[in-house]
């Protein structure tokens, strides 16, 4: 299993591509909203994360994922 740093890199790449932002803007403590994601962007990012990591994120859990680090931790918890 990839380590959390590797997971963060993969998610960052998805977010940078989707939001068309500077990769330097992404830090573990930054929220997707801080990066300019609206609710539609959030849904699309969650779908891409599910696809990339082969997991399913239910709506209730998705609403609790705010920072990049929370997304990384969630993915690792689902894959253990």
Residues marked active site are found at: 38
> Residue 22 has which token pair?
């500077």
Tell the burial category of 12 from Cβ atoms under 10 Å away from its Cβ (0-12, 13-18, 19+).
Answer: buried
């Amino acid at each position: 299993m990839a380590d959390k740093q590797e997971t963060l890199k993969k998610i960052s790449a998805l977010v940078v591509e989707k939001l068309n932002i500077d990769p330097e803007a992404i830090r573990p403590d930054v929220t997707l909203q801080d990066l300019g994601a609206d609710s539609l962007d959030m849904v699309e990012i969650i779908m891409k994360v599910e696809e990339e990591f082969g997991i399913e994120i239910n709506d209730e859990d998705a609403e609790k994922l705010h920072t990049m680090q929370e997304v990384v931790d969630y993915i690792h918890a689902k894959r253990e």
